[in-house]
Each structure stands twice: as structure tokens, then as C-alpha cells.
Structure 1
Amino acid sequence: MTSFLGLLSILSVLAAPGYALSCVQCASASTCSGSSVTCLSGYECGSLYTESEGAVHVVRGCTPKRECNFKGNIVLDNGKFKMATTCCNTDNCTPAPPVFVPLNSEPNGLACPSCEMANSTSCESSNTIQCTGEERRCVLWAVETTGVHAVKVAYRGCATPSVCDLGSQSITIEGTTENIKYECSGGGTSVQRGVVTPAVVCLLLLTWLL
């Protein structure tokens, strides 16, 4: 009876609205391991994978539940990025590998500004890139870091609509402050600014840019 009551107590804690998972936080190629961190309520253990030209990077950490099934692509003149997030909901669990949105070479009729600018969080150009497949939005992708690794760079290209919901965030990790933003339009002048991204997105993008 005592063991049974103990089990019920544990289950009640796990089911409580305020229960917070512990998740591994790390960033590396293919697989990674690191220290365990305590997540906020409403978060799960997530892995964000990015694939570009056959190379895969992964970042693990606390991820909002609403973003656990994120999949999206960004296509630039100098690279194509496939991104996807998977999650699990037990302490320090390892999420399953994702399924990416396939890249498609069929033009979809959208042409977006195309540029890359170092030491800036914006870039303007009369050059364009022809979007293909599900990349039906124009995106400005800007990254700025201060601290140990100081980086400022901006890109314009094509993106799937899901990328536009990633938005922007400012966080500080181990002496480095990272600011990343996505601003989208349909090829015209209107701009869509998404909601806040999880910290793991910020970490992953830095692994590609540094």
C-alpha cells in the first residue's frame, strides 16, 4: 500500500500544471550531449536539426510545446537550409530524428531580393533569387552577437511560411548575447514579424555562422 501511494504521489507531481522537465542542452554536429537544465512549465525537451549541403547540425534544449513540430526551409544564393524540430516529454530524454520538408527545384513564381551583408543587420539589393517549391515567402534573416564571439550578418532569400513564425529573440549564454530575427514578406512591401523563437534556434544558427 505504501508503494502504491508513493507511485500515486509521483504521478500527481508529473501531471501537475507547474511540473518542469529537465532537458539536455548542447549544440554539435549530428548528435550532442551536455549538461541538464530545468525548463519552464509548458516546455518539452527538443532537438532542432539543420541540414545544409549534406551536413547536419543539432541543438538540444528546452522548447515550447507549440514549436515541437516545426519544419521549414530557407534558400539563399549561397546555401539551402532545411530545419526541423522534434520533442519528447520525460526528463533528459532524447527526441527522435526529424523528417525535413523536401527541397523542390520547381519554380513557384515568387522572386525575392537576394543579398548578404557582413557587419549589418540588414541588406538591400536589386538582385533577386527565384523561389521554388514550398518557399513562398521572402525573408530577411539577421544575426547579431556580442561578447566572446562578435558577429553581425544579414541575408535575404526565400523561406517556407513556417520560418516566418520563428520571429526574434535576445538571449545571453556564457558571455555571448545573441539577437536573431526573421522578417518576411510575400515579395511586396508588407512585412510579417513572427512570434518569439525558442533559445535553441538562436544556438543553432550560431553554430552555422561562427
Structure 2
Amino acid sequence: MKLLLLAASLAFLVNPGKGLTCFRCSISTSLCVSKVSCGDNELCYSRNNTLLGITVYSSGCTDKEKCGKETSETFAGVKYKMVTRCCDYDLCNSSAGLQLSFLTVLVGLTAWVSRFL
């Protein structure tokens, strides 16, 4: 009976692996909102670059070995070089979070500087 209880407890603790959930889009001028589940050897990635005043984004899942490497992509006939930035938790490749952080710092800095004026 104790062995059966131990086996049931271990089975309850074992959780089959689930891939990361990441934001996904091909080359786009807007932030990515679609979602995708990654495979076993994949991480979330994001890429962005600004050329000729246009910022383009790309995100999704990629092999771990591609992280930190530069890639070339084409959008509207213009070739962009982008670095693949990877992260390892669900929906971590959101550009909106980075923009919000920058906006928060900017507002805080402006409030602090205005105290001295």
C-alpha cells in the first residue's frame, strides 16, 4: 500500500514538459501580438532595427544556438541586419514591456529634473 501511495505521489509531481509561449510575427512595423508555443530546444526571440526612419520587428521561437547572432531580413525591399535577442520565460519577448520601462524612467527623470527648475 505504501509503495502504491509513493508511486501515485511521484506521478502527481511529474509534469510533462510544456514549451514556452512567445509572441510571434514576421517582419512587421507594429508590435507582435500573435502567440506561438516553442519546441524543446527553442527559446523566445525578438529582433528590431530602424532604417530610413522605419522600425521593424520580428519575434517568435528560435533554436537556442541562434541567440545573440546577427541575421539579415528584408522588408519592403530594404535589407535589415538584426541581432537575435533570446529569453526563457513565457511572453518575455514583448517589445511593449521594454517601451513601458523606458517611458516610466523618462517620466520619473522629468519629474525629478522639474523639481530643480
Q: Deviations over 1:124-171 (max 9, x none)?
A: xxxxxxxxxxxxxxxxxxxxxxxxxxxxxxxxxxxxxxxxxxxxxxxx
Shift in Å, 1:71: 2.1
Identify the residue that residue 71 of structure 1 maps to in structure 2: 70
**Structure 2 SS opposite 1:41:** coil
Shift in Å, 1:46: 0.6
What amino acid is aligned across from residue 47 of structure 2 in structure 1?
Answer: L
**Structure 2 SS opposite 1:66:** helix
Structure 1 residue 59 corresponds to structure 2 residue 32: no
Identify the residue that residue 19 of structure 2 maps to in structure 1: 20
Structure number with the higher helix fraction is 2
Structure 2 CA distance for partners of 1:59 and 1:81, relative to 1, 3 Å: closer
State TM-score, norm by structure 1: 0.32
Q: Deviations over 1:45-98 (max 9, x none)?
A: 111224323422011111111111112569xxx96633111011111212677x
What amino acid is aligned across from residue 44 of structure 1 in structure 2?
Answer: L
In the alignment, structure 1 segments of 5+ residues that lack a partner are 98-210
Q: Is the 8 A contact 1:45 1:94 kept in 2?
A: yes
Structure 2 CA distance for partners of 1:92 and 1:73, relative to 1, 3 Å: closer
Shift in Å, 1:39: 1.1
Structure number with the higher strand fraction is 1
Distance in structure 1 (CA, Å) of the matches to 2:19 and 2:78: 38
Shift in Å, 1:42: 0.6
Q: Is the 8 A contact 1:86 1:95 kept in 2?
A: no
Identify the residue that residue 159 of structure 1 maps to in structure 2: none
Q: Deviations over 1:10-47 (max 9, x none)?
A: xx75xx7x541111112432x51322211111111111
Structure 2 CA distance for partners of 1:89 and 1:54, relative to 1, 3 Å: same
Distance in structure 1 (CA, Å) of the matches to 2:65 and 2:84: 11
Q: Percent identity?
A: 30
